[in-house]
Structure 1
């Protein structure tokens, strides 16, 4: 092992990624991913140490503090390795290749991801977080560094041979091929998915695991879709019950920020109580859809309130002035402005003493109880804190409280002799006081990177919320995001991966990383949702153009399905097709759902053929372990159902048309095909070109909108009011 120090220096200072910039002052001589690092590894014949994470990752911060800021550990790294930092959100392709290796070799994955590569980029060893010293039976990072450096010097050929064999196995196992002559998966896949979700369901607090607990919105998408299509079936009713119970418990839990809105990434415990406090844009977007589905399935106002809660947070804290959406907020922050070290959850938690002081007044004039007593009772605030020490391994939450509701507002009101209205008003007043107090605290780090895929996800959720809730401010915000993407992220017919917030809120494109398949898939879906909300064909045209470009760049022309990456990057050793719906649904799952929706809308049978090819490619997975692909299963459900065509004939942007659009969106119609017939040349001509039969449908008058509902190639007589349209849409398909 070498003991001298390299002179390359830390090269992250000119990067745009917030995660890379967080490490720009480390004593480690970091390189960004690229040829400069690879050439140095080849020239110096050193292993590459690849560290992958993201800027709001709690354990990434821990490993940085313990190891990457440690000058003695940095000396070992600099002398013996070429050290490379990657933001997984910026380069999901790099992350996916090496996470596949780490998961296969160690049985678990996560971030930070720590991988050792040969100069040819072949992985030879890896894991996730490593402590700064050997402890609890876990190898310390310095020990690992020393061991690998010595082994490389002693027998690098054996290392390379081992790595090449590993890569061959990964390449072979990552390939997918459809069974020859296989039928399309159908009822077997749906039944097994329901069974597997039921088995993994935790009935006391909801969710589909014991602990830690993740929201897993893709599971809810499948269950809500199944219930919408087959509400009379007992297993569909059970699926709806699981979904609603999960969403209720999340709403009440500490994973939900009761003071400043939005949801944390996940909870460390079974009760949804103690989260890792980072908030991710992609979680907010998916949960908007989940709570909208719950609202449509039940009509309960609370679910709509949660949607507004999430969107309030996103519009206030995750929005760039130009219209884009930021990626995330960190879990860690300074407890006090003059503190030296950040603590997890410091921005969000409360001591009993602080709450009592801030809420010292009476709950209502002349009432014997204080506002603090009512608030502490309702949100389980305890003297000495309410966090289980087992959920706080670093004692960062000692004597602190994470707000959680264990009872209803009605029950709290009865406890203190308050009416429901009085109790709701008191709790709202208390939350406002605490929100203002929290604004005085040091804020957590904001990852102001704007990822195209997540912006597509969020603008699609925002647009749908505007349509379902009938609130123009959400539609307008979605429009701003869509125009942001068009202006900044869409160049020469292709998407870029990310933009960054520059000085004075200017938009910076950084290194102009080309978009990945999920960027295209989510933007297609976002633009499709924009079209369904506004019936402005500009967004439908863009959705089709992006879908065609995605097919050109990512479709496997020798097989089927979409690769995650474009061809041509020699540094990406494996071209992988994602086959699992995790924290984010896979690119193939989102894409096949888009194809199923676009095919009848655009009269594109080739889109149907592509969708069928994807379903066949994933036949085995859909039939044997469908719980791995719930989003794709939801798309498969839609594929097997005949679409309901809803043709609106009216003046674009008229009040009557907007009312009709909202009437459509307030019904649970997953298989709808929504089209506008108008005298305008742009949208009207575009739709009539694809569907010549629509030429016979004409607007009745300047301010009237007629609605035709068509099923099984048969259209019913038109209706001219939202109420009549709602009645028509409620008629079962078989009638």
Structure 2
């Protein structure tokens, strides 16, 4: 039983969030709730007061987090109950995913689902005994009272439940004995084919995308990469193992179907309201099956991943592979949509999410005020009244309204507008084709496109006068690693006919410079997770893994050895800090006495898991730092084996790890190009090496006038080639390309046709 004194409002216990740097925590600094941060002193306070803890976890751009705050946390009566009976703790899940992950696992296990805001009641010893997400105001008030009564009347039961939860989580997530087996035992179960079959079942052939219910799904739909587009790209280009298919024809059918499903989804995103037609970028997800009604928050990680994935499918959509003129035209159109979407996302990200220092901010909120002094509502910045469109566009409004499906009474169905905030308003999406629009108004298709494009420019000028949604201006290392990959890939893939293409390489270098100067402590060899008005918490596994991948992509784009060497150094630190010596794989965070379960981040979600990215990094580093090939190869294998049962039983949840297995099965190769950066043939060979979608490939460059001497000490092939240049002065006068596979480098070619043959382009 808690003492009566502990049920009194504690003098001096106030809301301390004004001292925080987290944008999410700062959103709650004026709540009457006496919010505390998750810290040793807060936990000590809960133990001293002998009170249960109410932990609320969310993030800055979370719409339903705002709703819960407005309804309950801003209510003085509810705050009084919270302050009287609980120690109330706010957690920014993006800064402390280690804390969030433990309690989210409990929530998912007990409710079958999860999400934010996450609401957890726990003992002063941090052991949870009740969990939920968003609660309407009246229900939340009743819940607070019931939880307090339960704590008063049956505290032992609460504590027993909490201890049991922690023990169960430890059994589920902790280290077991070393897992035995081989990769072949995983591969023989055909995880790639299983993903294909599952995606085929979940595919919506009408509108594209994947959701429970497939063609009967009513949403939501996500612009998912690690669990959908990444596996589909492999399936579209890599033949499956013989035991998974009956003949070459089956492989071809799987490849065609995979491309078709991916492009249907990409097209749905491009044409839908989930894409911001006026200002660029994509929203977090679509609440409906048609991609029309977005959940309006814009996350950096969605922009970054989708850029990378659509650029992959631009390479896969090669008109040269077409069998007839009709299919060539369709494939060319697919490629253009991929490039257009990548450029759209890049323009938005570089304009609205990039900090002056070179890093990228985290997100833009879903909510804003429709006018000065008005209450904030979801999507207010993005939705339109038909009358306002007509006022802005004049005569062009007829064409734009027809194309975008604008209606006098609004085009948002009430079922997709939970709070009636979009009544009478319109979301812009492609309701009609350009050809239909042109035909209706007696114009050419090119003219119709011109009117729509000009209309978007004018609407943006008007929209820019509105109150912008809130900006989460913290810079996360992990998410900047994802953007570093996107920018590096765009620098080598996006045609220069897109103006934004010229900015990508410099932007990528700026990201790397920012992270190294602000987020990396070279003396201690540790990363910082976040930056906002200074350094935030220390880095976690995904910070290391995502940044390593970004640096390897930047190395391939530039040939600069310092990027590769920093990636290798970061991998060593990741191994030192997070490797599980007993069970294999990587823990998600470093040990922390106040995080009761040290879990592993293995399952893909909105972002790829740290483990899935790590296995790719290890495979690439085994080629680049070839002197340690055996170490990297063994570590990658042990990581796969640490999730072997999951890969066999539910491969789609580990989709990006399965992609790594498919790359391994195909076999990795290293392309080494020797030549001066100013030699047109060097550029030509680089372009040929990047022409096809080849995720199982690493490209290294050797400039004879400035060879990568430090990298050469870690790569015998590069060292030998540099040595050959010094011995034979004439050998460096011609650009050449060679392919190294299985530890053996083939003979070089210095002619275009020979290079094409080496690369399998003819």
Q: Are residues 1:94 and 2:74 paired?
A: no
Aligned residue runs from structure 1 range 526-565, under 5 A? 526-565=550-589
Q: Are residues 1:5 and 2:9 paired?
A: yes
Is the 1:291–1:307 Cα contact (8 Å) retained in structure 2? yes
What is the distance in 2 between the residues matched to 1:475 and 1:701?
A: 30
What is the distance in 2 between the residues matched to 1:125 and 1:183?
A: 40
Q: Which residue of 1 aligns with 2:721?
A: 694
What is the distance in 2 between the residues matched to 1:498 and 1:731?
A: 43
What is the distance in 2 between the residues matched to 1:473 and 1:720?
A: 31
The structure where helix makes up a greater share of residues is 2
What is the distance in 2 between the residues matched to 1:5 and 1:658?
A: 70
Q: Which residue of 2 aligns with 1:458?
A: 483
Which of 277, 281, 285 is 2:296 aligned to? 277
Q: Which residue of 1 aligns with 2:514?
A: 484
Q: Are residues 1:436 and 2:461 paired?
A: yes
Aligned pair count?
706
Q: Which residue of 2 aligns with 1:505?
A: none
Distance 1:686 1:693, change over 3 A: same
Is the 1:205–1:271 Cα contact (8 Å) retained in structure 2? yes
Is the 1:51–1:113 Cα contact (8 Å) retained in structure 2? yes
Q: Which residue of 2 aligns with 1:172?
A: 171
Q: Secondary structure at the match of 2:18?
A: coil
Aligned residue runs from structure 1 range 544-693, under 5 A? 544-567=568-591, 569-603=592-626, 604-652=629-677, 656-680=681-705, 683-687=708-712, 689-691=714-716, 692-693=719-720
Q: Which residue of 1 aligns with 2:272?
A: 253
Q: Which residue of 1 aligns with 2:209?
A: 207
Q: Are residues 1:498 and 2:530 paired?
A: yes
Which of 225, 230, 243 is 1:217 aligned to? 225
Is the 1:229–1:670 Cα contact (8 Å) retained in structure 2? no
Q: Which residue of 2 aligns with 1:137?
A: none
What is the distance in 2 between the residues matched to 1:313 and 1:647?
A: 35
Distance 1:193 1:702, change over 3 A: same
Q: Which residue of 2 aligns with 1:55?
A: 60
Is the 2:674–2:703 Cα contact (8 Å) retained in structure 1? yes
Q: Are residues 1:192 and 2:194 paired?
A: yes
Distance 1:183 1:657, change over 3 A: closer
Is the 1:295–1:303 Cα contact (8 Å) retained in structure 2? yes
Q: Secondary structure at the match of 1:436?
A: helix
What is the distance in 1 between the residues matched to 2:519 and 2:393?
A: 46
Q: Which residue of 1 aligns with 2:377?
A: 343
Q: CA deviation at 1:227?
A: 1.8
Is the 2:183–2:640 Cα contact (8 Å) retained in structure 1? no
Which of 710, 715, 734 is 2:746 aligned to? 715
Q: Secondary structure at the match of 1:443?
A: coil
Is the 1:588–1:614 Cα contact (8 Å) retained in structure 2? yes
Aligned residue runs from structure 1 range 153-172, under 5 A? 153-172=152-171
Q: Which residue of 2 aligns with 1:37?
A: 42
Aligned alpha-carbon RMSD (Å): 2.0
Distance 1:272 1:322, change over 3 A: same
What is the distance in 1 between the residues matched to 2:225 and 2:611?
A: 17
What is the distance in 2 between the residues matched to 1:665 and 1:717?
A: 17
Structure 2: 5+ residue stretches without partners: 212-216, 241-250, 319-334, 496-500
Q: Which residue of 2 aligns with 1:367?
A: none
Is the 2:738–2:745 Cα contact (8 Å) retained in structure 1? no
For each residue in 1:575-608, what CA deviation from the matched residue of structure 2 results, as whole angstroms up to 9, or x when unmatched?
A: 1112311101111001001111111221122111
Q: CA deviation at 1:671?
A: 1.5
Higher mean C-alpha displacement, 518-527 vs 202-211: 202-211
Q: Are residues 1:332 and 2:367 paired?
A: yes
Q: Are residues 1:237 and 2:261 paired?
A: no
Q: Secondary structure at the match of 1:640?
A: helix
Distance 1:120 1:688, change over 3 A: closer
Q: CA deviation at 1:186?
A: 1.4
Which of 496, 499, 514 is 2:538 aligned to? 514
Is the 1:677–1:684 Cα contact (8 Å) retained in structure 2? no
Q: Which residue of 1 aligns with 2:391?
A: 357
Distance 1:689 1:517, change over 3 A: closer
Q: Which residue of 1 aligns with 2:427?
A: 402
Q: Which residue of 2 aligns with 1:19?
A: 24
Q: CA deviation at 1:328?
A: 0.2
Q: CA deviation at 1:424?
A: 1.6
Aligned residue runs from structure 1 range 419-430, under 5 A? 419-430=444-455
Is the 2:267–2:337 Cα contact (8 Å) retained in structure 1? no
Q: CA deviation at 1:659?
A: 4.2
TM-score, normalisation: structure 1: 0.93
Q: CA deviation at 1:421?
A: 2.0
Q: Secondary structure at the match of 1:301?
A: helix
Is the 2:82–2:88 Cα contact (8 Å) retained in structure 1? yes
Which of 333, 350, 357 is 1:315 aligned to? 350
What is the distance in 2 between the residues matched to 1:432 and 1:678?
A: 44
Distance 1:432 1:513, change over 3 A: same
What is the distance in 1 between the residues matched to 2:432 and 2:741?
A: 45
Q: CA deviation at 1:179?
A: 5.0
Q: Secondary structure at the match of 2:666?
A: coil
Is the 1:678–1:684 Cα contact (8 Å) retained in structure 2? no
Q: CA deviation at 1:155?
A: 2.6
Distance 1:728 1:472, change over 3 A: farther
Q: CA deviation at 1:719?
A: 2.7
Is the 1:228–1:670 Cα contact (8 Å) retained in structure 2? no
Q: Secondary structure at the match of 2:546?
A: helix
Q: CA deviation at 1:627?
A: 0.9
Distance 1:116 1:653, change over 3 A: farther
For each residue in 1:157-201, what CA deviation from the matched residue of structure 2 results, as whole angstroms up to 9, or x when unmatched?
A: 221112111211121122465753344321521211211121122
What is the distance in 2 between the residues matched to 1:141 and 1:578?
A: 31
For each residue in 1:236-270, what CA deviation from the matched residue of structure 2 results, as whole angstroms up to 9, or x when unmatched?
A: 22111111111111111110101100000001111
What is the distance in 2 between the residues matched to 1:261 and 1:659?
A: 32
Q: CA deviation at 1:292?
A: 0.2
Distance 1:102 1:223, change over 3 A: same
What is the distance in 1 between the residues matched to 2:137 and 2:131?
A: 16
Higher mean C-alpha displacement, 705-714 vs 395-404: 705-714
